[in-house]
């Protein structure tokens, strides 16, 4: 399937959805404190989105997911389901949000510390954020997505971590997940293969960081993804557009 090349008016609509994602994540980040349940955090996020005219939480009901906010606590790297778990001082929490507005989608994620966290967890979170910003700075029109994936993998391993396998970044637009798939590691042996990055493409980059094992395991809730090593992970995501040979972060 071909990767869509978006017209400026379409990118404007995707940008508008992503602005709501960014505002919601920033608002949620300010609310995070010990004593809240994951279900309460989800409600805060959903209510904030619903309060904005015409917007809806895109993840709620998507593929059967039961909530509007993925709340991934400690060892859960992505797709954590909000439940009655109470967050505590020293926890780390991934927040992943999608928004649909006027038929177009936005998507971004952050990982935050709850109160004071360890230096090790600060470094773990920094790896996912720094990898994301490195990847965005690395993008050039004409480079291949596999080259980008390879650069992302090298950056992560250079920090002493490894990327979660089996999950990836993705295109976005009229659907929450479109072509291409963008792993955080090189698939195969040739980074010079596959589609090239072009003007008009819109996609999400989302480094998912593991400590010792890159093998993913889905928990019994059928959603929460952890590393096989059982250790904490981190996750950051931005939606970007390629406009006039430049990269614009839409989810800022």
| Residue 89 pLDDT level (bands cut at 50, 70, 90) | very high
Considering only CA atoms, which of 140, 110, 135 is closest in space to residue 125?
110
Mean pLDDT throughout 194-213? 98
Q: Are strands 238-243 and 246-249 parallel, antiparallel or unpaired?
A: antiparallel
Q: Dump pLDDT digits (tens) for 231-251.
A: 999 999 999 999 999 999 999
User: How many Cα atoms sit within 13 Å of 97 on the Cβ side?
Assistant: 32
Q: What is the pLDDT of residues 150-203, one digit of tens each?
A: 999 999 999 999 999 999 999 999 999 999 999 999 999 999 999 999 999 999
Average pLDDT score over residue span 10-36? 98
CB 58 within 8 A of CB 98: yes
Percent of the chain at pLDDT > 70 equals 100
| pLDDT in the model for residue 53 | 82
Torsion over CA: 195, 97, 86, 131 (sign) = positive
Residue 213: predicted pLDDT: 98
Domain boundaries, the chain: 8-249
- Checking if the pLDDT of 112 tops 70, the result is yes
- pTM over 0.85? The answer is yes
- pLDDT > 90 in the chain, percent: 98
Of the pLDDT bands very low, low, confident and very high (cuts 50, 70, 90), residue 1 is low
Reply yes or no: is the peptide bond before residue 180 cis, omega within 30 of 0: yes
The mean pLDDT of the chain is 98
Range 143-151 average pLDDT:
98
Does the pLDDT of residue 59 top 70, yes or no? yes
State how far the alpha carbon of 35 is from the alpha carbons of 50, 78, 95, in Å.
24, 22, 17
Residue 239 is predicted with a pLDDT of 98
Query: Is 139 a residue whose pLDDT tops 80?
Result: yes
The predicted pLDDT at position 36 comes to 98
Within 10 Å of residue 165's Cβ, how many Cβ atoms? Answer: 18
8-249 placed in CATH 3.40.1260.10: no
Q: For residue 81, is it left (φ>0), alpha (ψ between -120 and 50) or beta?
A: beta
């Amino acid at each position: 399937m071909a990767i869509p090349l978006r017209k400026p008016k379409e990118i404007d609509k995707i940008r508008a959805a992503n602005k709501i994602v960014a505002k919601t994540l920033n608002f949620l980040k300010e609310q995070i404190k010990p004593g809240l349940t994951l279900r309460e955090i989800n409600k805060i996020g959903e209510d904030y989105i619903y309060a904005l005219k015409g917007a809806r939480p895109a993840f709620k009901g998507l593929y059967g997911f039961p909530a509007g906010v993925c709340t991934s606590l400690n060892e859960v790297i992505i797709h954590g389901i909000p439940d009655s778990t109470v967050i505590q001082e020293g926890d780390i929490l991934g927040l992943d949000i999608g928004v649909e507005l006027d038929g177009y989608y936005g998507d971004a994620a952050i990982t935050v510390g709850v109160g004071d966290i360890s230096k090790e967890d600060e470094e773990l979170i920094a790896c996912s954020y720094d990898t994301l910003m490195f990847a965005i700075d690395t993008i050039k029109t004409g480079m291949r997505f596999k080259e980008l994936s390879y650069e992302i993998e090298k950056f992560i391993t250079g920090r002493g971590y490894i990327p979660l396998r089996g999950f990836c970044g993705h295109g976005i637009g009229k659907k929450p997940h479109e072509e291409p798939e963008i792993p955080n590691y090189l698939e195969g042996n040739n980074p010079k293969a596959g589609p090239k990055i072009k003007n008009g493409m819109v996609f999400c980059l989302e480094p998912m960081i593991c400590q010792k094992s890159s093998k993913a395991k889905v928990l019994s809730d059928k959603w929460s993804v952890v590393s096989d090593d059982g250790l904490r992970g981190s996750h950051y995501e931005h939606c970007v557009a390629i406009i006039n040979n430049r990269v614009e972060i839409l989810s800022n």
